[in-house]
Amino acid sequence: MNVLVLQHIACEPPGVFEEVLLERGATLQRVELDEGEQLPEALDGIDAVVAMGGPMSVNDEVEHPWLVAEKALIARALREGLPFWGSCLGVQLFASALGARVRQGPTPEVGVLPVFATEAAADDPVFAGLAWPRPTLQWHQDTFDLPAGATLLATSPAYPHQAFRVGRLAYGVQFHVEIDERMADEWAQVPAYISSAAAVLGPGGLDRLLADFRASMTDMQADGRVLFSRWVDLWA
């Protein structure tokens, strides 16, 4: 398996998802777009695409012109039927690549917060059977409309669109279940993440968030492994 990983900041690698892929013998073709690395010109030889998170918005094309080419590549991968998994910024890129609107929400959703399954999740091969609601790490403000033909799989009170599927092999999740303690500590040094945490959680909020994350980290990583492994099982 050759998996194209689209990364937008060094501290947001695939984490648990990468562990699953390496255990399956996959090769990761990592492109760090924020560092100026170039996307492949063709998708020949690529078996799946994974798009991770980042502090930018999908709408920040002036500041980050590579977003235009990235969305075009994701749209092409989806047209060609390649398996796709998007997390946080990745799910927003997924929606945008399919023509859905991505916009700023009313207030940042930050913290260890529950995500609830929709009725459709009960019959979904990736989402079925977990004891929903599940704890997730949320750290975002943008949200998205559902693309045409999408199936909503998870929701939260503040941001109803938390996960969706298009077709059989393309999935996106707004929440984080892939990160470890080291990654969380690195996120706490990113200015955009610090400001969003302070705006929602107030003084000392970032420390509380990290403590909450450590308390739920094992469950979240286990969920991330289950969800991602089931997705890989659909196509590997």
- Enzyme catalytic residues: 88, 176, 178
What is each CA distance from 39 to 33, 62, 72, in whole angstroms?
8, 18, 11
Count of alpha carbons within 13 angstroms of residue 84, beta-carbon side: 31
3-state secondary structure 193-234: HHHHHHHHHCCCHHHHHHHHHHHHHHHHHHHHHHHHHHHHHH
The upper half-sphere exposure of residue 118, i.e. CA atoms within 13 Å in the direction of its Cβ, equals 16
